[in-house]
A and B are shown apart, each in its own frame.
Chain A
């Protein structure tokens, strides 16, 4: 097994040849893009334009998911081995599944893997989607995806640097009922956007001058997790910083993980450089901030008043308004549908601005106006009967949640038009589906009752799941994670959308300050030199 090649040698040799490699790459990318454009056509549903239905070169069946040969115009079925037959009959080596981009090699007689294929696929998909992008600002085009290639300066730095794995797991010690802290920290550590931010040294705790800085605590946490120390780490300073910032979370009793989560987000935001009260683009807001839209409709005159509110996460009710039990569908989808369903307002709650009369029939409807890169869901399992925490009860009903979710049905654009004919030409195009696809990466579990319970969590790195129980970290699998009773779930957008590039104002300020400091240094140095000269002269 040690001698078995890691990648398909046939593809490797083809890509190594300049001419042949270019031909194959170009054809592969165009095949992937063809499918991306076709899916967008389906979304757009222009009744006058037909969507391409290529037929199988072997059996003439119209194809919804062709396998495309990379060396000739042949397209065919996977079923019945038609496309594989074509490869062997014509001596062609590769055919690609247009839907997924997976490549079949006739000589390996199998689907193959190559990292170059992955990057080609990503480039083609993202490029096709960006061209059909939606919600663009006028005259401000979307930043197109470019794979990162180090410039000469960066290459020199990289040459001298030691690469460490970006995969690291470390248990966290329970410091006395602090499992609520540990599970949230593990979900931060496995959050790709937070991880990339702190591993890129964007908030260096040795340079930061703030006291009691939670962002510094995050930086320290990442340094500890990624250190070579295999022993579990006790996040003592993080806990102390939390107590100082939020006294209500202090004390040795069990705290609510969600409460701590929100408090931590707020603290990291407040201690971030350049954070603002409105339209903040600190790492927390860039990662978690979305917008909820609330539409109140007067049933009498049809007037709709919309308000937009910021949100960092979504809390989902498990009981209906009347306190009725959870309906048959115990799924995240059902919770989201309930979240976005119209709700009748009592006459006391609303009076229409347009038809001017109070005590009318009105309905309110929530929808997601802006989806954040990381979506956090909380299932409201703890119902507090009164403000007295000890009188609260826990709703243990397991809710089924998926490894991947499409959020389009819960967005303002779609919710507004639900019930109408979605194929009408006036229905606004929602944008490429990839904008709405999210993948699960973290789950927080709670077992037991409110005050005597225990928190654990699952988190994913790339394709593998792990279970975290304070200091104990064990390999797990998707099924174990999905079967667990979730209290909170974290999803990350599959493809990020980049706004037009602009340097943040605080970076410009910092650069100006650095220039000014240099000038002052020069002046100081010059003054010092003059003093030395004067001294020397006076001695003569």
Chain B
């Protein structure tokens, strides 16, 4: 499928998922799992400590500092797998 069409399909799916509330539901499931795994608190702690020593303090500097440390490296594999499954289930419903 040509990239332009893939993009159009993505935008359409995204719109449908937001309008039906599923997007927010998936986000809530992901957040609950990330919170229970301790990932959210880990990022919160790292950000706080990074901000404490940062002079001058600026959002984009903080984001640049935290993103590589927090992003894909520390998300527990189990959470990634479970959330991917939930997303897949919702997407499959869209194509029924």
| A residues lining the B interface (CB < 8 Å) | 1, 39, 41-42, 45, 47, 50-53, 60-64, 109-111, 331, 333, 400, 402-406, 463, 477-479, 482
Contacts and interface: CB of A to CB of B under 8 A. Distances in A.
Contacts of A406: 32
B83 to A, nearest CB: 15
Given A53-B19, A405-B35, 16 more contacts: A42-B25, A47-B20, A51-B18, A51-B19, A51-B24, A52-B19, A62-B14, A63-B18, A64-B18, A64-B23, A111-B59, A402-B35, A403-B40, A404-B40, A478-B44, A479-B42
Contacts of B2: none
Contacts of A404: 35, 40
A477 B59 contact: no
Max chain A Cβ within 10 angstroms of own Cβ: one of B19, B36, B40:
B36
B15 A62 contact: yes
Interface string B17-31: 011110111010000
B69 interface: no
A402 B25 contact: no
A526 B96 CA distance: 92
Contacts of B36: 331, 333, 400, 402
Nearest to B14: A62
B11 interface: yes
Contacts of B38: 400, 402, 482
Nearest to B55: A1
Interface residues of B, number: 26
A51 B38 CA distance: 31
A63 B23 CA distance: 10
Closest 3 CB pairs of A and B: A53-B18, A62-B15, A50-B19
A333 B36 CA distance: 7
Nearest to A43: B21
13 contacts: A47-B20, A51-B18, A51-B24, A53-B19, A109-B58, A110-B59, A400-B36, A400-B38, A402-B36, A402-B41, A403-B41, A404-B35, A478-B44
A240 B60 CA distance: 55
A314 to B, nearest CB: 17
Nearest to A482: B41
B5 interface: no
Nearest to B34: A402
Contact of B49 (A47, A62, A331, A477): A477
B28 to A, nearest CB: 8
A64 B27 contact: yes
A403 B44 contact: yes
Nearest to B41: A403
B80 interface: no
Contacts of A477: 45, 48-49
Contacts of A403: 40-41, 44
A64 B28 CA distance: 12
Contacts of A402: 35-36, 38, 40-41
B14 to A, nearest CB: 5
A298 B54 CA distance: 61
Nearest to B13: A62
B31 to A, nearest CB: 9
Max chain A Cβ within 10 angstroms of own Cβ: one of B18, B19, B20:
B18
A53 B23 CA distance: 11
A331 B40 CA distance: 14
Contacts of B20: 47, 50-51
A404 B39 CA distance: 12
Nearest to A433: B28
Contact of A61 (B11, B32, B55): B11
A62 B22 CA distance: 14
Contacts of A52: 19
A130 to B, nearest CB: 21
A41 B55 CA distance: 41
A400 B21 CA distance: 31
Contacts of A45: 21
Contacts of B45: 477-479, 482
B18 A62 contact: yes
A41 B25 CA distance: 11
A63 B14 CA distance: 9
A407 to B, nearest CB: 12
